[in-house]
Chains A and B, each alone.
Chain A
Amino acid sequence: MFRALAVLRLVVLVNTVVLNLLRADEFQRPAAGAACVAVMIVWTGFTIWAYDDRERRTFPLLVADLAVALALLLVTPVVKGADYSSSVPGFWVMGALFAWAIHYRLVGGLVAGLLLAAADLQRQHIDASDYGNAFLLVIGGPIVGYMCDSLQRMATERDVAEREAAMAAERARLARAVHDGVLQVLALVQRRGHELGGEAAELGRLAGEQERELRGLIHAQEAVTVVGDAESVDLVAELARLEHGQNVTVATPGSPVELPAATARELVAVARACLDNVRVHVGDDAPAWVLLQAFADRVELSVRDDGPGIATGRLEEAASQGRLGVAESIRGRIADLGGTAELATGSFGTEWEFVVPRSSPDLT
């Protein structure tokens, strides 16, 4: 900030020196005028050096800076005679004004602006442009001060955000290492337990359950860090949770599939209903597979089992008895989402295929 101000100081110095040279005939006391210009050159050099180091930006320096600018304004009647039209420092006072605005923000800018404007208006004839310049000093100081404040705050907030992101990434890295270790051991216990049989097999089964549970949670947690929007949910993570059962395999794309929360929850509920059905009709240990495919406009979800299939006529029988079978309830829920459901069943097993549009259904 003060670096930029140093450049500005040089620019206004050159401007002021040139203007004073051009208006050299206005000086009643040319020697004093030359001394004033010399003071500005020396003081500009000094302040550029002084403000460069944060340590040196102290209250006395800022007071001195403002005092020099005020003094040059106040000696103008002496140097140029009471009836002068332009002050000796002119725009050069900007240096001190912005130094106050940058260092003491809005209030600093306002104080320096008011003092400089007051000093500048100590002249006999105040015309419209003098008033305008004074007004700009009073307005410009606080505005620059306010903007410095906002910039500083934004920079601080950005630093905090960056630090938090770095910390989260590091935590995730550590968590991955920990999870991997735990998963390794659980998988090992499961495997060995199964081979040893007896009570060890029971331990192995429990370890296997925990392993799947943990893997599902990890996938879900991964998605949480990616998605910040509460309105949408990553269906991949939601479906991954279905895998905790021993025999359910979930296949999904590798990247999150964002859906409106309500749609995603309903799809997971439907998939769960299908899996429950597998357990009831095929068996507790029956394997089942869930596949999610995501396209630009729709998602396709399939749930399949290797069972004997639904006996011919069973669905019709249920319907004729006035019972709303599970199948009909599943169809209805998918239709509510604006999608379609297809059921294929036979000796190869039972397979549901759902196609649901990605945009939320029209609820009106």
Chain B
Amino acid sequence: MSESEPARIRVMVVDDHPLWRDAVEHDLAQAGLDVVAVAATGREALARFPAARPEVVVLDLQIPAPDGVEVTAEIVRQDPSVRVLILSASGEHADVLAAVKAGATGYLVKSASREELLTAVRRVAQGDPVFTPGLAGLVLGEFQRMSDEPTPGRDAQTLTERETEVLKMVAKGLSYRQIAERLVLSHRTVQNHVQNTLGKLQMHNRVELTRYAIEHGLDDD
């Protein structure tokens, strides 16, 4: 092992399906990643998270309580630098969107191949959001919904024209490289645009949650 080799990515796998959890763990370990913890339920995940200190959490949404969305919100609150990659079997729109709003930065359906999973974990670890076309479509729809139903007196987060354009291309299945070529931008700029859209969505969510808390007096105690 030479010292120049990059540190192994520390990953935690949360899935209540033992076969599946083992398969993911096996794949990640074989590819040289460091699986520092596994968990079968939301409770286990939250209990093991602080000690394991993973960089990336590969998380199934449908787990025994607390569910994947709540786990995402809680671990991101504890450690804002952690990256959450959602791995969902059913890909239910509402759940995926909720998880992304709660702070997840990547989403894959479970039918993704081993290579796709590994690439996704590595990219998420670097801070790149992993968008499937499906997720991009959901996020586009969500921003459209927010601008269609503006709440009086409240500024909805809106996307710039460029961000919308980039997100639309992601939703149409273009890779970042293809988008960069078409728009004559650098690969990095395309990534930044995508990252910003997620950031805005999560910001909107935080603002909404804070407003809700204030309006309902949850900040009193």
Q: Which residues of A contact B (CB under 8 A)?
A: 176-177, 179-181, 183-188, 190-192, 194-195, 208, 211-212, 215, 218-219, 222, 249-255, 287-289, 291-296, 302, 304, 306, 348, 351
Q: Is the CB of A253 within 8 A of B178?
A: no
Contact with A along B92-132 (1 / 0, CB 8 A): 11101100000000000111011000000000000000001
In the complex, whether B89 has a CB less than 8 A from a CB of chain A is yes
Which single residue of chain B is at the shortest CB-CB distance from A236?
Answer: B93
A-B contacts, 22 listed (Cβ < 8 Å): A176-B90, A180-B62, A183-B89, A188-B23, A195-B114, A212-B111, A249-B132, A249-B134, A251-B136, A251-B171, A252-B137, A253-B140, A253-B141, A254-B94, A255-B93, A289-B133, A291-B168, A291-B172, A293-B140, A302-B172, A304-B173, A348-B178
Contact with A along B137-168 (1 / 0, CB 8 A): 11011101100100000000000000000001
Cα–Cα, bound, A222→B172 (Å): 24
Q: Is the CB of A184 within 8 A of B20?
A: yes
Contact with A along B1-21 (1 / 0, CB 8 A): 000000000000000010110
Cα–Cα, bound, A177→B63 (Å): 10
Q: Which residues of A contact B114 (CB under 8 A)?
A: 191, 195
Q: Is the CB of A351 within 8 A of B140?
A: no
Cα–Cα, bound, A186→B89 (Å): 9
Q: Is the CB of A180 within 8 A of B111?
A: no
Q: Is the CB of A191 within 8 A of B23?
A: yes
Cα–Cα, bound, A188→B171 (Å): 26
Residues of B in contact, count (CB < 8 Å): 36
Contact with A along B75-103 (1 / 0, CB 8 A): 00000000000000111111011000000
| Interchain nearest-CB distance for B1 vs A (Å) | 27
Which single residue of chain A is at the shortest CB-CB distance from B60?
Answer: A184
Q: Which residues of B contact A295 (CB under 8 A)?
A: 144, 148
| Interchain nearest-CB distance for A200 vs B (Å) | 14
Cα–Cα, bound, A215→B109 (Å): 11
Q: Is the CB of B148 within 8 A of A188?
A: no
Cα–Cα, bound, A215→B133 (Å): 16
Q: Is the CB of A291 within 8 A of B171?
A: yes
Q: Is the CB of B137 within 8 A of A187?
A: no
Checking A176, A187, A252 against B110 with a beta-carbon cut-off of 8 angstroms, the contacting residue is A187
| Interchain nearest-CB distance for A323 vs B (Å) | 29
Q: Which residues of A contact B134 (CB under 8 A)?
A: 249-252
Q: Which residues of A contact B136 (CB under 8 A)?
A: 251
Q: Which residues of B contact A252 (CB under 8 A)?
A: 93, 134, 137-138, 141
Q: Which residues of A contact B172 (CB under 8 A)?
A: 251, 289, 291, 302, 304, 351
Q: Which residues of A contact B168 (CB under 8 A)?
A: 291, 293
Given contacts A188-B20, A192-B23, contact A251 B137 (CB under 8 A): yes
| Interchain nearest-CB distance for B197 vs A (Å) | 14
- 3 nearest A-B residue pairs (beta carbon): A253-B141, A251-B137, A289-B173
Q: Is the CB of B182 within 8 A of A348?
A: yes
Q: Which residues of A contact B20 (CB under 8 A)?
A: 184, 187-188
Checking A187, A250, A351 against B111 with a beta-carbon cut-off of 8 angstroms, the contacting residue is A187
Which single residue of chain B is at the shortest CB-CB distance from A182?
Answer: B89
Q: Is the CB of A187 within 8 A of B133?
A: no
Which single residue of chain A is at the shortest CB-CB distance from B170?
Answer: A251
Q: Is the CB of B137 within 8 A of A190?
A: no
Checking A188, A250, A294 against B144 with a beta-carbon cut-off of 8 angstroms, the contacting residue is A294
Residue among B92, B134, B137 with the highest chain A CB neighbour number at 10 A? B137
Q: Which residues of A contact B96 (CB under 8 A)?
A: 254
Q: Which residues of B contact A218 (CB under 8 A)?
A: 90, 92
Which single residue of chain B is at the shortest CB-CB distance from A218?
Answer: B90
Cα–Cα, bound, A255→B133 (Å): 16
Q: Which residues of B contact A187 (CB under 8 A)?
A: 20, 89, 109-111
| Interchain nearest-CB distance for B38 vs A (Å) | 16
Q: Which residues of A contact B62 (CB under 8 A)?
A: 176-177, 180
